[in-house]
Structure 1
Amino acid sequence: MTPQSSFMIVVPIASGKRDAMDSLLESMNLAPGRVDPHNPVIPFALFDELHSARLLIIEANTAEDILAYDTEVRHWTPSLALLGEVDGERGQFLARLAVVASHGLATLFALCQGFDTHQGSMLSFLQSHQTNSAADYVNWRGRTVRQVHEEARLQRFLAERLSTMLAEDGHTDVRQIRQQLLTSVQLEQQTGRLTLTPEAPTSWRHWWRNALHLISLPVILLLLTPVLVVVLPLALWRLRKIEKNDPDIDTKSTLAHIRTLSRIEDHDVSNQFNVFGDVKPGLFRLLLLKSVMYIVSYAARHIYRRGYLARVRTIHFARWVFLNQNRSMYFASLYDGSLESYMDDFINKVAFGLNLTFSHGVGYPRTRWMIKGGAELEQPFKQTLRRHQLPAAVWYRAHPGLTAIDMARHARIRRGIEEYPLDNAQIRQWLSEI
């Protein structure tokens, strides 16, 4: 299996360079919300291991909200963020990116702080500004860009061939239909017009790291059980006390902000999503959030590995990232459908999960015991997310037009080619997938 990795480069924009940065990022698009995959700054299409990437300016539009907690506004310099998801190791991708897009990256980072005085290579600059995620979610770990493309081509070929067969011959014997389709696929593979690359073996290094991570949570819980028995009641009391004292903050967005976001949405079956805001003040909140993030990371890595995040199937990638010395958090996702359907999906299926992860942010609707309230208050929740949302100036996706459900269906179609079915009912099900 080839694992997926994420990268995120965050660099503060130099004083007086914001307008130039906006113009440069805009030049990478064909139109608002539609990237040029071959743009000269970062030619995304040249990276066959790149699932998705985006560039945005992270700015603290809601920084003054924290004044409601009698806490000083936390300084944050508007920063350029370049992030994405790749097949294989992050370091290998960044090394290739630093070579292939060296000139374009230099043009981008010349508008940022510190690049003009950096003495090392482009790769060392990228590495020095790499920001790790607190938690990452991948819809289907091990599914590569190549696999997505090959299986999509397989489905299109089989659909065309099946349509022709039924129109010409009117077959009713499902086993005969399957055999003819298999023969057609084999002929296409022999001519090189169709490829189905076998899954790569899992490296020992990845296997051991994953195994150690798998046992980490049970071991930690076992070791801390005596402490948790004493601390947990006090923590719950403290949590409820600060929840009751959370101030109400106006969460409505300006019309201009909504128009800016809407301008780049719904140009494909999938959308990008970015939110940024302050973590509620206090060491207790920070420790609680870090604990939640560890559990989310564990669950995403070992439990929700094959098409689902809890009961939600529409997310391709997601990440949670601490910024500004743990005082702020950035969340990004790539999801199918509209923003409204995306939020409704979570509210209806896993509102408690939203509360666990986002209730520690300034401005979030008031919760009870960290699981009730919050996202259950539909309109305040949606307004809060919209207000903290940031537009991606540039967004690239290697497989436009394909949803997560499409990819899972294509994988099942491929398995129907490679595995022998037990009965006619299974063959009929396979044909219906095509």
Structure 2
Amino acid sequence: MSRPSGGGQVAIVGYAHSQVWRHAPRPLGAVAVDTARAAITDAGLKPDDIDGFATAALFPTAGAHTVEDGVSTVTAQWLADHLGVTPRYAAGFQGIGQLPGAVALAVGAITSGAADYVLLHRALHNPPGRYHANPMRTAAGAQQWTAPQGFFGPLAMIALPYNEYLQRYRASREAMATVVAEARKNGARIPWSYWHGKPLSRDEYLSAPVINDPVCRYDCDLPVDGVAAFVLTSAERARDLPHRPVHVAGLAFAAPPRPRLPLHWPLDDIMAAGTGLAGRLWASAGVGPDEVDLPQLYDGFSPFVYFWLEALGLCPVGEAHRFVQDGRIDSDRPGGLPVLSGGGALGNGRMHGLPQMIECYLQLSGRAGERQRERATVGVACQSSPHFGGAVVYTTEPTRERSRAR
């Protein structure tokens, strides 16, 4: 018998999202305030009802930028101040697994009694023309062993394990075209997506220039400006609010299993840590991979979809490149596993885990409109790489205790 983390007694009761722009027409802080107010209203509450704030304010770039609250990032306290609220709880997550970490803060605040209603937000910024700009002229510390050889930045980082995967399992770049086309197809249907109305064909993907072999332009998400916000409270309070609640059933995180150079991400490290994460995740939530009907896999780089499929046990190790073929992940096909039904990062822009969380909330609360799936009761939202991120299980029921052979 497994006991869900927190008993599933914390739920999302409202949400809002901004448009996703390449560059927003207003400061990020202004967009965040408007989005937060919309989420609070959506939950049937007023700003004064919110007594807790949580976020993960990391600016996910390899470049060097001045961190300016309300401009390049939006912290929990900044947002509370600009909503005119004096909270009992305000915190920002700084560890591995940004958005799942913020969810953990919100759950902890509510279950401990530190706050009754928590506003959780994530705000992403794209400085014009310099997202990954790096002023480094000398390489010190661990980077002295890699940067002078050109091994710097996220493209080199992901190209290493992707190459390992292709060679070890005799996979091809052609197989990945299915993944990217699926993400863009679904993102093109979402009005707030940067890629709204702009699907991508397999031929377009395969004809794109390779940037860091075997990574091409379309294997990478696009830096954007955008904000999303959610309101969380106890399952008991959620019963009195207007929307069907979506419960946080469990969560888990992982870190690299052994010390490495900063951008050294071997495939074995990713999968070893990811397998451990999955075991903790299923134990925390009291469900197994066979019960998940809405897995939303992180795809900041397309190979992450392979890694998450295998780490979570949704397909055998080494088989993801075959599993994604023949409509197996087509969200429009009956029986397809909708791993990118919300478009993900490749279909929305670099919203850093928000598309996965939004899709779980919309589908499980029955608010996905024309995209609503007939059966959506257990969702998983993943963030980052399996060895450098986290995942959250969401359910339509407040508790899911099950007897499972272990």
TM-score when normalising by structure 1: 0.25
TM-score when normalising by structure 2: 0.26
| Larger fraction in helix | 1
Computing the radius of gyration from Cα coordinates, the structure with the larger value is: 1
